Amino acid sequence: MRKVNLDINTQLGELVADAMRGEEVIIAKDGEPIARLQPLAPMRLRPRFGSAQGKIEMAPDFDVPLDDFADYAP
């Protein structure tokens, strides 16, 4: 755990980067802890419609009946 005095203008980016790497950061003012900076749970990304377009191909004979099922065909 890291404890720092408050100097938002020069250290915020560095502190956020530390938190993103999993380090817990204690922010202090005049030597007294006032806040804790820690990473949030990772966000789950939702799949976007059409995001796999062009990545999947179907064989030309995809819907041709299989020989194993010939006995069941009309």
Q: pLDDT for 5-50, tens place per residue?
A: 655 566 777 888 888 787 888 888 888 888 888 777 776 778 889 8
SS3 call for 59: coil
Distance separating alpha carbons of residues 35 and 39, to the nearest angstrom: 13
Distance separating alpha carbons of residues 51 and 48, to the nearest angstrom: 5
Distance separating alpha carbons of residues 31 and 37, to the nearest angstrom: 16
Q: Domains in the chain and their CATH numbers?
A: 1-39 (3.40.1620)
Q: pLDDT for 45-73, tens place per residue?
A: 788 898 888 998 999 999 888 889 888 88
Distance separating alpha carbons of residues 74 and 72, to the nearest angstrom: 7
The model's pTM: 0.41
